[in-house]
């Protein structure tokens, strides 16, 4: 114990580390004093010592972890309050505090430092948070070394307090739901079925539990009228095909109503200028996903609806779709290897179609699920004409690149092979012996692999 390390008090104390250990402990009566510390290392023959360090007891102490008492929630803020246990500090202003808070949905954490004023409660305001979101909070403390203490040591952070959990209060939904449609064909009475579909808001957009959706319609030149007030994610209407309708969709929680999302259904046939073309580039992003990139039209900022269906299309099947406000996206819903998909992109400006593009793609090509049926159409003495079916699209597994015909006459050892383009579906084998048996099979190939068909035996004519 020393007075600012200039004058010593009392007898020196010492401790001896156990073999293999790099620490030992000395009890002290006063942490608010200065201490001179020296380390000596020795073996049987020699010893050496370190230079002296002058440390203030509190400047190197590790405080006990604080105790979080309560967390007061607001929509975008949390106010934690805590205590520093025991009598380790004369005043709370002698410590620096650090709060760690984690978004439990995003699994992301941030840490912020706080100091407190004299006689003020130990609390902090953490703002910029998402409404209706679960957070965990912890706090730790470190002695705030005074500039008057010229100490060689650094204070240690305490352990973190026990976790406390809190949820921010709900707020008005920050945006309207993503909104799309499926159009039926006009009937004889000039009406058509329209299915309006929307996606649930993401938690960081809903800002609370969504209690329902409201759908309003507006004919050109008229006021809005309610169509659906529902908990469901779709609404089916039958509309006059020759009229234009604008629809406005909102979501409601217990705090308020979201901004509306607008979608315009044009009259049929649409008298407006055709939409601008969108150039689309599609590539595989994995066996079960596609990466889409498309050009941006030279118009104000657009929203985009991506729509895709497995081919061949089934008329009653709803398309898969998602909403984007950038010109690239990865789609993963209902994407399977070996299936061909029709992909469409709709560019919307104020809910109205202003750009359009389409293409086809596979996430991954696989070997054809079977080889096509092979059969002879004409048989003569020295030649045979063969034909094979076009595989249904769902059985191709990918783009058919080629067919390879293998054939061999009886008494000959080796098969001969003929490679044919994927667009060819018939072939004539010439130069055969009359009355001989020819064995034929076919291998069908695409980028994902090849599949062999069954063996076919054909006997040429004698006359």
The sheet carrying 374-379 orders its strands as 374-379, 384-388, 426-429
pLDDT tens-place string over residues 369-421: 999 999 999 999 999 999 999 999 999 999 999 999 999 998 888 999 999 99
Mean pLDDT of the chain: 91
Number of H helices, E strands in the chain: 2, 36
For residues 440 and 409, is the Cβ–Cβ distance under 8 A? no
Predicted confidence (pLDDT) per residue in 258-309, tens digit: 999 999 999 988 766 678 899 999 999 999 999 999 988 777 789 999 999 9
Please compute the mean of the pLDDT values over residues 232-244 and round it to a whole number.
94
DSSP 229-248: EESSSEEEEEEETTS-EEEE
pLDDT of residue 151: 63
Among 91, 94, 179, 97, residue whose Cα is nearest residue 137: 97
3-state helix, strand, coil in the chain (%, to 5): 5, 45, 50
Residue 46 C-beta-side C-alpha neighbours within 13 Å: 2
């Amino acid at each position: 114990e020393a007075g600012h390390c200039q004058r010593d008090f009392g007898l020196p104390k010492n401790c001896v580390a156990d073999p293999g250990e790099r620490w030992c402990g000395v009890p002290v009566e006063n942490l608010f004093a200065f201490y001179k510390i020296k380390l000596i290392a020795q073996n049987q023959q020699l010893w050496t010592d370190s230079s002296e360090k002058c440390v203030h007891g509190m400047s190197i102490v590790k405080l006990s972890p604080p105790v979080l008492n309560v967390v007061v929630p607001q929509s975008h803020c949390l106010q934690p309050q805590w205590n520093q246990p025991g009598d380790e500090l004369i005043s709370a202003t002698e410590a620096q505090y650090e709060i760690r808070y984690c978004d439990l949905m995003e699994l992301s954490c941030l840490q912020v430092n706080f100091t407190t004023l004299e006689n003020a409660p130990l609390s902090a305001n953490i703002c910029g948070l998402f409404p209706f979101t679960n957070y965990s909070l912890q706090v730790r403390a470190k002695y705030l070394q005074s500039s008057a203490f010229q100490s060689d040591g650094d204070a240690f952070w305490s352990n973190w307090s026990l976790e406390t959990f809190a949820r921010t209060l709900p707020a008005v939904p920050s945006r309207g739901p993503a909104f799309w449609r499926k159009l039926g064909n006009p009937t004889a009475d000039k009406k058509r079925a329209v299915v309006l579909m929307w996606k649930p808001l993401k938690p960081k957009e809903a800002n609370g539990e969504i209690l329902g959706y409201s759908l309003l319609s507006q004919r050109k030149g008229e006021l809005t009228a309610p169509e659906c007030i529902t908990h469901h994610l779709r609404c089916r209407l039958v509309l006059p095909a020759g009229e234009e309708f604008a629809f406005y969709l909102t979501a409601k929680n217990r705090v308020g109503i979201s901004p509306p999302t607008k979608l315009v259904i044009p009259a049929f046939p649409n008298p407006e200028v055709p939409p601008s073309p969108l150039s689309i580039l599609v590539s595989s992003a994995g066996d079960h996903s596609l990466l889409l990139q498309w050009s941006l039209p030279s118009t104000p900022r657009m929203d985009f609806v991506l729509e895709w269906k497995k081919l061949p299309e089934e008329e009653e099947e709803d398309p898969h779709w998602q909403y984007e406000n950038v010109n690239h996206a990865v789609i993963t819903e209902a994407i399977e290897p070996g299936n061909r998909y029709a992909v469409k992109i709709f560019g919307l400006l104020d809910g109205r179609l202003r750009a359009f593009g389409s293409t086809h793609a596979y996430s991954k090509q696989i070997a054809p699920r079977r080889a096509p049926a092979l059969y002879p159409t004409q048989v003569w003495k020295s030649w045979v004409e063969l034909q094979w079916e076009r595989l249904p699209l769902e059985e191709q597994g990918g783009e058919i690149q080629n067919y390879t015909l293998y054939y061999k006459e009886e008494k000959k050892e080796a098969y001969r092979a003929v490679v044919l383009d994927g667009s060819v579906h018939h072939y004539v084998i010439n130069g055969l012996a009359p009355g001989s048996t020819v064995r034929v099979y076919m291998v069908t190939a695409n980028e994902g692999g090849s599949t062999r068909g069954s063996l076919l035996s054909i006997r040429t004519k004698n006359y």
